[in-house]
Amino acid sequence: MPDTRVEPHPAESKPASTPEALPPTPGEGDSDVALMHQASSGEMTPYAILFRRHADRIWRMAYMILHSTSMAEDVVQETFTQGLSHIRSYRGEAEPRTWFSAIALNLCRHILRDRKKEAQLAGTEKLDQGVRLHQPRARGALTSAIRREGNRMLTVALGYLTEAQREVFVLHYIDDLPYDDVARILNIRAGAARALAHRAKLMLQKKLGVSLETALKE
């Protein structure tokens, strides 16, 4: 008697089982503001999520101001250390990203002031706006991007700006903060922030020889 069994078509075969995706970390889908309030009650997981969301952004901002990867690393660590120490003072008037940026900017200012004092005590040549170039060291994809020629030239060109212009430029164009938040951090009016950013943009385009949009895409 002939065998009447029907072999399953390959397309009809049951696919191999795949491992189930791990459940998301509690709090991953929460807003930054919600995470800040959770962290202020003593929970560490929400603050760890905030660190993962904003650490690279703070690092790039600090690097653009200080031109030092190691100092930028220090600024990131100290920003979140200070943030945790003062988290109970957060009232939600500003977005957490703005709050962290303000802390980081103050730390950068202190470092620049210390550099100037050290240079004066050592009798070295005055540094342009307190900026000294350092050879970048590896920091994954982010550092690789910044070390490309266009971004390196942009970073160097920032030294031609005044301190106020540089801070506004980094906060708005690099940190992607709106002018209202930039003004709040620097304690100036939004119109003044726009004017400083415009002058910074014109100066950088003149020094770089290309549009700012092109430089930022390099």
Summarize pLDDT for 53-77 with one digit per residue, the tens. Answer: 999 999 999 999 998 999 999 999 9
CA distance 194 to 213: 17
13-49 residue pLDDT tens: 444 455 455 455 667 788 999 999 999 988 899 999 9
Can you tell me whether residue 38 is helix, strand or coil? Answer: helix
pTM of the predicted model as reported, rounded to 2 decimal places: 0.71
- Give the Cα separation of 144 and 116 in Å (integer): 29
Give whole-number Cα distances, 209 to 68, 145, 213, in Å: 25, 20, 12
Find the mean pLDDT for residues 189-200: 96
Domains of the chain (ranges; CATH) run 31-134 (1.10.1740.10), 148-218 (1.10.10.10)
Tell whether the model's pLDDT for residue 136 goes beyond 60.
no
DSSP 8-state code for residue 139: B
* pLDDT at residue 111 is higher than 70: yes
According to the model, what pLDDT value does residue 125 have?
A: 53
Name the DSSP class of 171: I
pLDDT at 180: 96
Stretch 115-143: mean pLDDT: 55
DSSP secondary structure letter of residue 88:
G
Average pLDDT, the chain: 80
Radius of gyration over every alpha carbon of the chain, rounded to an integer in angstroms: 24
